């Protein structure tokens, strides 16, 4: 885990980066055991994945891990529960990488607390999932079904207050840090909107 020694809490910089321990025990990577909160929207999953990967919480997670997260985000749009199918061979072809690389990337997402098992890859899940997935969704008869989730460290970094624990936790409010973040984000979006409204006709020419 990256060293956070020396981080301080200030109003300007926000709280120190939340501590996070990789989820290395497979028994903690299931929906009913994960410490992470269920996500239903693809944009929420992408935000969580981007934060956890780019913050350096996992020493081996990088570009390919983020690409896999984006592919998973596209697949979860077909599920109201934020679930998606994962067949390693089909996913490897979709990303243009080896099966081994895909398996490692999925492992990194599990260890970051970003995905949790709903169904392990076995023919036993065929009847329960039949009709829910199409070949384009990465489904095969023995495909694994994952759920998109957000680890507590991500919610803490975003200044969110939760009720409950693990998969069924829900957001009930924000901390002062969360309010500052929300205000800053709203101002940033407003600035971007104002800039896009400007047309070339209102820009003063510097030609001579």
Question: What range defines the domain where residue 31 resides?
Answer: 26-177
The answer to whether position 88 is within a domain reads yes
**pLDDT on residue 202:** 42
With a pLDDT cut of 90, the percent of the chain lying above it is 61
Q: Average pLDDT of 181-188?
A: 71
- The whole-angstrom separation of Cα 17 and Cα 132 is 39
The answer to whether position 149 is within a domain reads yes
* Tens-place pLDDT, residues 66-79: 999 999 999 999 89
Q: Which of 147, 165, 196 is nearest to 44 (CA)?
A: 147
- The whole-angstrom separation of Cα 82 and Cα 200 is 42
Output the DSSP codes for 76-103. HTT-TTSEEEE-HHHHHHHHTS-HHHHH
Q: If you ran DSSP here, which 8-state letter would residue 200 be given?
A: G
Count of domains forming the chain: 1
Cβ-based neighbour number of residue 72 at 10 Å: 25
- As a whole number, the mean pLDDT across the chain is 81
The answer to whether position 204 is within a domain reads no
The answer to whether position 10 is within a domain reads no
The answer to whether position 110 is within a domain reads yes
The answer to whether position 71 is within a domain reads yes
The answer to whether position 189 is within a domain reads no
């Amino acid at each position: 885990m990256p060293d956070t020694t020396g981080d301080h809490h200030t109003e300007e910089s926000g709280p120190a980066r939340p501590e996070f321990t990789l989820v290395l025990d497979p028994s903690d990577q299931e929906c009913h055991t994960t410490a992470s909160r269920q996500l239903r929207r693809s944009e929420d999953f992408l935000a969580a994945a981007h934060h956890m990967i780019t913050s350096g919480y996992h020493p081996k997670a990088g570009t390919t891990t983020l690409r896999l997260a984006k592919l998973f985000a596209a697949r979860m749009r077909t599920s109201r529960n934020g679930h998606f199918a994962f067949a390693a061979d089909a996913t490897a072809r979709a990303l243009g990488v080896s099966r081994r690389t895909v398996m490692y990337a999925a492992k990194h997402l599990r260890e970051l607390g970003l995905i949790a098992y709903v169904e392990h890859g076995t023919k036993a899940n065929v009847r329960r999932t039949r009709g829910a997935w199409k070949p384009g969704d990465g489904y095969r008869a023995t495909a694994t079904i994952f759920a998109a989730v957000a680890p507590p460290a991500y919610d803490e970094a975003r200044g969110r207050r939760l009720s409950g624990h693990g998969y069924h936790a829900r957001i009930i409010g924000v901390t002062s840090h969360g309010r500052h973040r929300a205000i800053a984000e709203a101002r940033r979006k407003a600035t971007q909107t104002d800039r896009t409204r400007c047309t070339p006709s209102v820009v003063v020419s510097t030609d001579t």
